[in-house]
Structure 1
Amino acid sequence: MRNTDDIDWSVIILVIILVCVAAWCRHGNSASVSAAGRKACPLCPEEKFKSCYSHKLRRHLQNLHWKVYVEFQGQRMCICHLPCRTLKPSPSSEQACSSRAVAHYHCVVCSGTIARKTDMIGHLKRHTNKGETRASYTPSGHTLEILKELGTNVQLMPNHNTPQKSDTYFSRKMKTNRQLVFCSLAALAEERSPLECLDAFGATGIMGLQWAKHLRSAVRVTITDISDTCVNMIRENCQLNQIRVAPWAGPESGSESGSGPGPGSGAAEGRYLTTVEVNKMDANVIMHLRPFDYIHLDPFGSAVHFLDAAFRNVRNLGVVSVTSTDTGSLYAKTPNVTLRHYGAALVRTEYYRELAARMVLDAVARAAARCSKGIEVLLSVAVEHFVLVVVRVLRGPSQADESMRRLRRLVHCQWCEERLFLKQGTSIDGEGSTPIYTLPCSCHGTLPGKTAVILGPLWSGPLFHSFFLRTMLKAAVRHSMEDVQPLIKTLLCESDCTTLKYPALTNQVECGVVIKTLQSPDESGADSSGKRKSGDEGGNLVKKLKSDSSLEHPPFYYSIHRHSIRGMNMPK
């Protein structure tokens, strides 16, 4: 094994081939050289590669065994001809072959002997998937990669970017998601403290460590994961950030016990910044055992399997944040999976991201209603490959009923992509009760075939809470999160412009934000049925619009540039 790059490997390989073939020929083994002058492969058994002439054997050795070396982590593993590995005797062979040596590779990680190159590559891939590399056996100072994010250091394994095969998965693309979750927790901490917080899927523990390191006494953080590797990694990251690891406080632990330093730990307070509780437990189990004020769910894929447990024990006015990364089912790429997980029917539309957020909120509202709780949506955002929703929990059957009233079906035109939520009680069965006639477009009368489809059920309520977003923006500025500040400002502008105000009434009608108001200034006296109202009723139009809560937040956001007549960018 050498690290030099100035060696002519083709010459060395050719010499190895000639020496190997000559050595086997001189060995006088009847299994290697037949009576007709044919030679057997020294690495392949007789039943897989029959004896052949020298030129065919040389071609076989060059193409299958000796052509290239195996490179891994900057180390080159070449063929070894020493008697480290002997050929196992075949049960069918009568003569003993124990003295026959087999050329092989030596694994750079575990020093195991592997005969064939393809087997060696698969062997090294298994080491990589388990996080076992050459760096794992070096001193602790160079063991793992250390990443610093928001003043928090975490160790990363070499396979941290493979979520299917890595226990300690870490994605640098999810930095925006971690900062949004942190700002939502900081905004809740300004309302009341201390808060019992749960990071249900710790992985490296970076999210819970950021909470504890920056919010300190305002939060009592619990990080849990079902993997032993993740729990050990979280404990090491706690020591790396000078955070004390507290043992599990038990299912009866509450705000009075907490995870803060106990009595007689004055020396520990000077050494550690704060305390974090780390548990090896399934997320559903710990959410059933203990109540929390803030719960964050970020599993790999869909989070619908953990919603019932999350709303089971969350405290009143608590907050639940859900990160969904199953973009295949969220964005209507796999409609069968969407129907299984969310019970909703979707098609690919120009507003598919908002559909995904409303579908996740529909699943969240139903899970909360099963526990006689309602929700108030604080934040909904779809960035890159995830959808994040943050909701406040409101206890009581009346709150649950109010949330369920906001779950409706959607009529979607497949030609112009006009959409409208159906009112409760609207029948969608039967030929005469087809709800396509409720759409404001005229595609159903001018175009042939079925022009509209029924989607959902979806959340039809507001997607933002303006005051909560302002508090999040203050937290982002306070903790110097420059990356997420423009996104929060954009969300704040969207939440403010959807609130109907009298000075902005004309502008909102012109830009298409308020979709249930008058279609043009000339038709200001006409209602949705086409009849013209009297002058007295027209004067009270603004008052009626202000009193109608359904108009304060339009169901969907229209892309003005996409629907512009000048650009002729009509949806296909």
Structure 2
Amino acid sequence: MVPNLVKAREVVKKHISIQRQLADLEKLADLSEGEFTSAESQNTDQHVAAGKKPCPLCPEEKFKACYSHKLHRHLQNLHWKVSVEFEGYRMCICHLPCRPVKPNLIGDQSSTKMGAHYHCIICSATITRRTDMIGHIKRHVNKGETESRYIAAPAPKSSHEVLKEADTDVQVLPNYSTPQKSDSYFNPKMKLNRQLIFCALAVLAEERNPLECLDAFGATGIMGLQWAKHLGNSVKVTINDFNENSVTMIQENCHLNKMKVMMNPKEEDDCDETMEEGEENVGIIDVTKMDANVIMHLRSFDFIHLDPFGTAVNYLDSAFRNVRNLGIVSVTSTDISSLYAKAQHVAQRHYSCNVVRTEYYKELAARIVVAAVARAAARCNKGIEVLLAVALEHFVLVVVRVLRGPSPADDSVKKIRYLIHCQWCEERIFQEGNMVEENPYRQLPCDCHGSMPGKTAVELGPLWSGSLFNTGFLRRMLFEAVQHGLDEIQPLVKTLICEAECTTLKQFSIHGPASQNKQEECGVFIKTPDTAADYYVVQGM
């Protein structure tokens, strides 16, 4: 009975260096002296000043007691970051006198310095090097020894969390909101962005189908899954990501939403044969693991969405390389620190654009991105028509239609100009022509240069000087939002329509004359819900 009692005690007890979260390590510093074991209590023999805490994994002579913010950095950098993970637990490096260093053979006395080491969560062994600890754990796993003698084996529990958005379920990791630490980044604050892109794709699907669509940076695959689930056979969705863990997560989310995964285009026939009778609404999604530039060079698409972490300028040339004529490219830029003039040197580096903080900085950000998109399209002998450009708190979204040919490309490039901005009254005007003027201040409608000392204006850009909206396209986006029950996005789309038409919400009507007649975009007459024509008439063809 005594050995069984000892064994039961060992199951409950574990070393303090083995914790689940960094916060658990910080809580150990608040424990009283009596709550540590005899080997660990040497770190708390002396009382520290009020407000200061000792490190629970270092002796007093190695790390003196300090305030909470410094202790947090110490635990994070010197213990947590060099830990070894196993089944949700972290085996942090320990400097306590658990494993003394070998005696010093040169001197007469042995060294009193204690060696840094790790405590094995499975067999309680103390190992010095991190690489040796990783190999030690792997040997336990290969032998099937995965139950800890110190920690009672918990019931099997999935580490994935399931989130639901627009009738689409996605599995995410617990740290899904931190892109630096997660392979499956999912930001709930980008829901408006996903709905805007969905409405734009739904409008394009009404023009022609089936569409070949690409979500170049899938992450969890939420956007591509929403496309396939709500638009059905109108779209052929390809979700791409370069991270292997993200690709695995995308495949799991496809199965979670009853979607067939096609890793190779040749597998499409096999996928159709394996569909069960009760899964008649199941779609097929092509999941690829490539660099975004590579897949856009290899294949042609009607709709491409770019949403990298940060700026998208590194992928614009590839996006316009093979996009089909009259297709749509949507770009989400999340590098708002540079676009919103908080990091002006970064804007100069990424966009070759001079920018300052103004009262209209969000419009300025949208025009910076559109200018970069127009230049990338022109390098591929393509022009653009801006359908939508919106800058919100967390992102800048630009949606453009692609017009193939050198003439549309030249017309788009001509709309990229410099902006003269008055730093006193915030007046601004796009510079006329390319000729150097003797007095460029004359172009400004204000007289601040004459009444204020010094140079009052600054040249910003180059920026997109054309329109940022297409009213007809926005109205059809609103129609699709109503059709699919996207209530959250409707007020934003209505505001964009009013801003494009310079009207107020009181004057706005979705059933106005403009929504009933044919609408022209890029020389293309598009049918509306009330138009009886079954085909599109393209000018000049």
Same fold (TM over 0.5): yes
Q: Contact conserved, 2:428 with 2:444, CA < 8 A, in 1? A: yes
Deviates more, 1:415-424 or 1:85-94: 85-94
Q: Distance in 1 between matches of 2:416 and 2:271?
A: 47
Which residue number in structure 1 is paired with residue 102 of structure 2? 89
Separation in structure 2 between the aligned mates of residue 357 and residue 269 of structure 1, nearest angstrom:
46
Letter in 2 for 1:478: Q
Amino acid across the alignment from 1:438: Q
User: In the alignment, is the contact (CA less than 8 A) between 1:43 and 1:103 conserved in 2?
Assistant: no
Identify the residue that residue 364 of structure 2 maps to in structure 1.
Answer: 355
**Percent identity for Structure 1 against Structure 2:** 56
* Equivalent runs, 1:79-158 vs 2, <5 Å: 86-89=99-102, 92=105, 142-158=158-174
Q: What is the CA-CA distance between 1:162 and the residue it aligns to?
A: 1.2
Q: Which amino acid aligns with 1:341?
A: H
Counterpart of 1:238 (choices 232, 236, 254) is 254
Q: Could you list the per-position Cα deviations for residues 153-175 of structure 1 after superposition, in whole angstroms to 9, with x for gaps in the alignment?
A: 11111111111232211111111
Matches within 5 A, 1:31-42: none
| Cα pair distance change 1:78/1:383, threshold 3 Å | closer
Letter of the 1:277 partner, please give it: D
Distance 1:203 1:109 in 2: 34
Q: Which residue of 1 aligns with 2:4?
A: none
CA 96–390 in structure 1, closer or farther in 2 if over 3 Å, else same? farther
Query: How many Å apart are 1:327 and its aligned residue?
Result: 0.8
Alignment match, 2:324? 315
Superimposed CA distance per residue, residues 488-536 of structure 1 (whole angstroms, 9 cap, x where no aligned partner): 110111112289xxx99xxxxxxxxxxxxxxxxxxxxxxxxxxxxxxxx
Q: Does 1:217 align with 2:233?
A: yes
1:395 aligns with 2:404: yes
Match among 339, 342, 354 for residue 348 of structure 2: 339
SS of residue in 2 equivalent to 1:214: helix
Candidates 201, 205, 215, aligned match of 1:199: 215
Retained in 2: the 8 A contact 1:89–1:96?
Answer: no
Which secondary structure does the structure 1 equivalent of 2:203 belong to?
Answer: helix
Quote how far apart the aligned CAs of 1:308 are.
0.2
Aligned counterparts of 1:159 and 1:110: Cα–Cα separation in 2: 29
Distance in 2, matches of 1:227 and 1:89, equals: 44
Q: Letter of the aligned partner of 1:89 in structure 2?
A: K
Describe the SS at the equivalent of 2:180: coil
1:139-194 CA distances to partner (integer Å, 9 max, x unpaired)? 77633111000001111111111112322111111111111111111111011110
Q: What is the CA deviation profile of residues 428-474 of structure 1, one whole-angstrom value per residue up to 9, with x for unaligned ones? A: 6xxxx231111111111111110111111110111111111111111
CA RMSD of aligned residues (A): 4.5
Instruction: Answer whether contact 2:387 2:400 (CA < 8 A) is retained.
Output: yes
Aligned to 2:395: 386
- Higher Rg of the two aligned structures: 1
Bigger Cα displacement from structure 2, 199-208 vs 102-111 = 102-111
> How far apart, in 2, do the equivalents of 1:58 and 1:340 lie?
44
In structure 1, the residue matched to 2:276 is 267
Select 1:417's aligned residue among 407, 426, 434: 426
* Cα offsets for 1:176-232 (capped at 9, x unmatched): 111111111111101111000000001111111111111110100001111011011
**2:462 is equivalent to residue 457 of structure 1:** yes
The residue that corresponds to 1:529 in the other structure is none
Deviation string for 1:257-293 (max 9, x for gaps)? Answer: 8958755345377276111011111000000000000
Change (3 A) 1:142 1:392: same
| Cα distance change, pair 262–22 in 1 and its aligned pair in 2 (3 A) | closer
Cα displacement (A) at 1:400: 0.2
Write the distance in 2 (CA, Å) between the matches of 1:276 and 1:295: 15
- Kindly indicate whether the alpha-carbon contact (under 8 Å) linking 1:2 and 1:75 is maintained by their aligned counterparts in 2: no
- Separation of aligned partners in 2, 1:11 and 1:407: 61
1:439 lines up with 2:458 in the alignment: no
Evaluate the alpha carbon distance shift between residue 445 and residue 228 of structure 1 in structure 2; reply closer, same or farther with a 3 A threshold: same
Q: CA deviation at 1:14?
A: 2.9
Decide whether aligned partners of structure 1 residues 104 and 260 sit closer, same or farther in structure 2, where only a CA change above 3 A counts: same
Letter in 1 for 2:247: V
CA offset at residue 333 of structure 1? Answer: 1.2
Offset of 1:107 from its aligned partner?
7.7
What amino acid is the match of 1:334?
A
Aligned-partner residue type, residue 152 of structure 1: T
Q: Structure 1's 94 and 233: CA in aligned 2 closer, same or farther, altered over 3 A?
A: farther
Asked whether the 8 Å contact 1:197–1:295 carries over to 2, the reply is yes
CA–CA distance in structure 2, aligned partners of residues 23 and 448 of structure 1: 70
Q: Note the 1:470-485 alignment, pairs <5 A.
A: 470-485=475-490
Matches of 1:496 and 1:11, distance apart in 2: 62
The 1:113/1:282 distance shift into structure 2, 3 A limit, reads farther
| 1:215-256 residue CA offsets vs partner (Å, 9 max, x unmatched) | 11010000111101101111111111111100222xxxxxxx
- 2:484 is the counterpart of 1:494: no
> In structure 2, the residue corresponding to 1:410 is in which secondary structure?
strand
2:182, 2:255 → 1: CA distance? Answer: 22
**Contact 1:186–1:215 (8 Å) recurs in 2:** yes
- Deviations along 1:51-90, whole A, 9 cap, x unmatched? xxxxxx9999xx99xxx9x99999999999999x643425
TM-score of the aligned structures, taking structure 1 as reference length: 0.66
* DSSP-derived class of the 1:270 partner: coil
Q: Which residue of 1 aligns with 2:193?
A: 177
**Contact 2:163–2:171 (CA<8 Å) still a contact in 1?**
yes
1:110–1:452 CA distance, 2 compared to 1 (3 A): farther
3-state SS of paired residue (1:394): strand
Distance 1:93 1:488, change over 3 A: farther
* 1:159 paired residue number: 175
CA distance in 2, matches of 1:497, 1:102: 72
**Counterparts of 1:384 and 1:479 in 2: how far apart (Å)?**
25
Q: TM-score, normalised by structure 2?
A: 0.70
Structure 1: unaligned runs, 5 residues or longer: 25-41, 51-56, 116-133, 250-256, 505-572
Q: Is the 8 A contact 1:296 1:322 kept in 2?
A: yes
Amino acid at match of 1:373: K
